[in-house]
Structure 1
Amino acid sequence: MANSFDLIVIGSGPGGYVAAIRAAQLGLKVACVEREHLGGICLNWGCIPTKAMLRSSEVFHLMHRAKEFGLKAEKIDYDLDAVVQRSRGVAKQLSGGIGHLFKKNKVTVVMGEAKLAGKGKVSVKTDKGTEELTAKNVIVATGARARNLPGLEADGKRVWNYKTALMPPHMPKKLLVIGSGAIGIEFASFYNTLGADTTVVEVMDRVLPVEDEEISKFAKKQFEKQGMKILQKSTVKSLDRKADKVIATIESGGKSDTHEFDTVISAVGIVGNVENLGLEELGVKIDRTHVVVDEYCGTGVEGLYAIGDIAGAPWLAHKASHEGVMVAEKIAGKSVHPIRPESIAGCTYCHPQVASVGLTEAKAKEAGYDIKVGRFPFIGNGKAIALGEPEGMIKTVFDKKTGELLGAHMVGAEVTELIQGYVIGRQLETTDEDLAHTVFPHPTLSEMMHEAVLDADGRAIHF
């Protein structure tokens, strides 16, 4: 039957499209249903376009530092529309690439809104009517969207969510960012670098609250050096919206004050896209807008899986992709290993960058480990100084008894690229001695990873 498949994937984000392609590679007949854009939020409105915009702000920042490098740059300026246009072009190119990959791998694409019509049945509302698809296995990969708090809802005019921030109707002069997780701090970094007077409000006791406390404190100092105002243990109680401004009531330190901004970005987390999918009717358990799954992403309903943001933390594209491959291989009868969330790196592309994997120092202690900690600053690394990037640090956390690498935490230039070295180390279960005996190339930033390991045993050479 034309509408009968081995696997139907609902959603074509970094979890869905990867699952569909891997399943097709393994010989399964696959359909992927997408209601909006191939590539999902990550590719079209998240990971990729934000990195393109952040690259523009990074180059702009470096242009202002030209004199430090013996260069001349005069009348430095930017064109925000052109920055956005480049960002959208990058997203469009990659979205088109997904279509090519689907065609190459013979994945059937159905554009429309999907709903589970029963076990192994998916009903899709398309612009031509309703299409009924059947499959022995279904993967739900519908992702998540920005959370809206009552009174702080985005309106696309003066109060923005991530979509508006990626296609801004104006350049903010005085900007309030609510939330200092990855999304909030990346947009704060972008607009602050372009000259916006930026204030970040965080309800927790520190910015980037999921990171190691020492890294959070270091990052905060750098943000403040760049002119950002950081309000921790603070809450935005209300927004009074005017035609050309927003008056925010912010509670901090037990006191409430009003502050005037021309733009607000709300980045207070995400909620899973679980509505109108027919999940509850099939008996799928949903907890706080996320599907409850087992270690293999099974929902408890035979043949029905959920991957990516809809399946809970960590809400990361690379976690979704890995889950997609695992489930596709499981369906195809391959032997698979469950995901280890504690071995998935988190990356934040603010300036300076932040990256981490595994347990923080505090979490390692809470878990009962007797630990040893190593640190190494960028100022002790020749490549960092040559690059003009001496501000940063790398921190390692080891089990004192076994030498196991429990966690690694970084802040500074290019740490989102460096972190994978420690991710591989954790995957291969290397010890501090294994890493200490590894020869790192010179001159590279990666040498700091070696020194941070050596420092855990009091053996660091260059600091």
Structure 2
Amino acid sequence: MSNAYDVIIIGSGPGGYVTAIRAAQLGLKTAIVEREHLGGICLNWGCIPTKALLRSAEILDHANHAKSYGLTLNGTMTADVKDVVARSRGVSARLNGGVAFLMKKNKIDVIWGEAKLTKPGEVVVGKMTKPVVEPQNPVPKGVKGEGTYTAKHIIVATGARPRALPGIEPDGKLIWTYFEAMKPDFMPKSLVVMGSGAIGIEFASFYRSMGVDVTVVELMANIMPVEDVEISTFARKQLEKRGLKIITEAKVSKVEKGANSITAHVETKDGKVQTITADRLISAVGVQGNIENLGLETLGVKTDRGCIVIDGYGKTNVPGLYAIGDVAGPPMLAHKAEHEGVICIEKIAGLPNVHPMDKAKIPGCTYCNPQVASVGLTEAKAKEQGRDIRVGRYSFAANGKAIALGEDQGMIKTIFDKKTGELIGAHMVGAEVTELIQGFVVAMNLETTEEELMHTIFPHPTLSEMMKESVLDAYGRVLNA
């Protein structure tokens, strides 16, 4: 078997494996190097298995409120942590196998081992080191491994890992990252979550549904700091109604470890310190790119704040070397990585009309209860830019489908440029908004104005009707409020 390729991709997460498939479709001889498990963190330890956990939590929440739907459950509904985790791991294992099938179907060579860049156009693959976490499926026998491989184009897609704060480093027992939080061998009675970004809030929501006493500590003034303040404020109230304790403008300054518990010292902005004792602490203070031990320094690859610097097409400052996904900087989202990879490989292949990615049109989703989703500018950002704007809002409480579902707490907010009518931002909180947001993403990509949205017929009764009502409200024409 030849070790020469048109394209070698280092890392098989969503960005890596999707890029490999697109490369193969374009007729490029392609290989992908993986050191742990196909599908990367997202499929094995992130996006997918957490959604499986949250689905179990959602079912439990509904069951606990069965009476409000006119239903009586015979017996007590309880969560078996081993079965909940087993279902989540099974979902990941199934999809991991699916990626292996796609590699075989598209005739992409999978090279197992640790990749290192030794010179332009060359990758040396060493032995597989002990993985951070055990792979879901074993590495197949008789596949490529150690050796020297060459390619005209090499794409780094090595992803990211949990960021650790000095003095509060995860230990796998008392201080967890998302790895341990995703597969607990017991259900703690109490938990401190450090950080309220998507990862922190999703785990806080899951564990609260499981009956755990959860306290979230956030450094910024609002939870989910990247979201529109009005939306995050609404979400906070709903989370607190569910029993979550939330402390903002505070930091965990120190953690004392007991035999089977932790005591977190929480310092607020006025310098006051309170202590919270809990069974476990989840560190969810962000992620950092996996740029170490790749040989980037040897090649003189430019990096910034722990990420590889690229142009709009994934090119680094070294000819023939590219980077995509989390390792290439924020937003660190799977769908951003996939799209970035497709742009990169289509540019390499010389396709016409390949455009750089517009990061302002990348949606963000948080799958807590209630869900949060957004795209584009927040109201504050729009005003910072000096934009003259119109803002529309619509409440779930006025929507027939939401009321019928028993999910009438939520809102949709739209932001338009007053001069042009361009939709520049959309923000949602409530049931299923992570499925609704794509409608506004499509609209923004088509450079839709309020006029097109007002003339769009939304089906009734649906949650999506609220999207149109929010648009109408921005222009003083709301019909059902």
Instruction: Compute the TM-score of the two structures, normalised by the length of structure 1.
Output: 0.99
SS at match of 1:15: helix
SS at match of 1:54: helix
Query: Partner of 1:329 in structure 2?
Result: 346
Instruction: Indicate conservation of the 8 Å contact 1:44/1:91, yes or no.
Output: yes
Q: Specify the code of the residue in structure 2 equivalent to 1:169.
A: D
Q: Specify the code of the residue in structure 2 equivalent to 1:88.
A: R
Instruction: Indicate conservation of the 8 Å contact 1:142/1:273, yes or no.
Output: yes
Partners of 1:179 and 1:353 in 2: CA distance: 17
Instruction: Indicate conservation of the 8 Å contact 2:111/2:145, yes or no.
Output: no
SS at match of 1:203: coil
Partners of 1:325 and 1:102 in 2: CA distance: 16
Partners of 2:76 and 2:303 in 1: CA distance: 55
Partners of 1:313 and 1:244 in 2: CA distance: 36
Instruction: Indicate conservation of the 8 Å contact 1:157/1:169, yes or no.
Output: no
Q: How far did residue 129 of structure 1 move?
A: 7.2
Pairing 1:287-436 to 2, within 5 Å after superposition: 287-335=304-352, 336-436=354-454
Partners of 2:443 and 2:188 in 1: CA distance: 42
Q: Specify the code of the residue in structure 1 equivalent to 2:414.
A: T
Partners of 2:295 and 2:320 in 1: CA distance: 15
Instruction: Indicate conservation of the 8 Å contact 1:272/1:309, yes or no.
Output: yes
Q: How far did residue 281 of structure 1 move?
A: 1.6
Partners of 1:129 and 1:270 in 2: CA distance: 29
Pairing 1:174-323 to 2, within 5 Å after superposition: 174-252=190-268, 253-323=270-340
* Counterpart check, 1:456 vs 2:474: yes
Q: Specify the code of the residue in structure 2 equivalent to 1:391.
A: Q
Q: How far did residue 243 of structure 1 move?
A: 1.1
Q: Specify the code of the residue in structure 1 equivalent to 2:151.
A: A
For residues 357-408 of structure 1, the C-alpha deviation after alignment (integer angstroms, 9 at most, x for no partner) is: 0000000011111000000000010000000000000000000000000100
**What number of residue pairs does the alignment pair up?**
463
SS at match of 1:77: coil
List runs of 5+ in structure 1 lacking aligned partners.
none
Partners of 1:195 and 1:257 in 2: CA distance: 24
Pairing 1:47-86 to 2, within 5 Å after superposition: 47-73=47-73, 74-86=75-87
Q: How far did residue 333 of structure 1 move?
A: 1.3
Instruction: Indicate conservation of the 8 Å contact 2:118/2:298, yes or no.
Output: no
Partners of 1:126 and 1:27 in 2: CA distance: 29
Query: Partner of 2:118 in structure 1?
Result: 117
Q: How far did residue 151 of structure 1 move?
A: 1.4
Partners of 1:188 and 1:151 in 2: CA distance: 22
Q: Specify the code of the residue in structure 1 equivalent to 2:4.
A: S
Partners of 2:289 and 2:114 in 1: CA distance: 16
Q: How far did residue 258 of structure 1 move?
A: 1.6
Instruction: Indicate conservation of the 8 Å contact 1:283/1:301, yes or no.
Output: yes
Percent identity of the aligned residues?
Answer: 63
C-alpha change, 1:388 and 1:277, in structure 2 (3 Å) is: same
Q: Specify the code of the residue in structure 1 equivalent to 2:303.
A: I
List runs of 5+ in structure 2 lacking aligned partners.
129-143
Q: Specify the code of the residue in structure 2 equivalent to 1:217.
A: T
* Counterpart check, 1:158 vs 2:158: no
Q: Specify the code of the residue in structure 1 equivalent to 2:110.
A: V
Partners of 1:289 and 1:130 in 2: CA distance: 27
Partners of 1:149 and 1:435 in 2: CA distance: 46
Partners of 1:49 and 1:439 in 2: CA distance: 36
RMSD: 1.0
4+ residue runs of structure 1 moved beyond 2 angstroms?
A: 126-130
Partners of 1:160 and 1:228 in 2: CA distance: 19
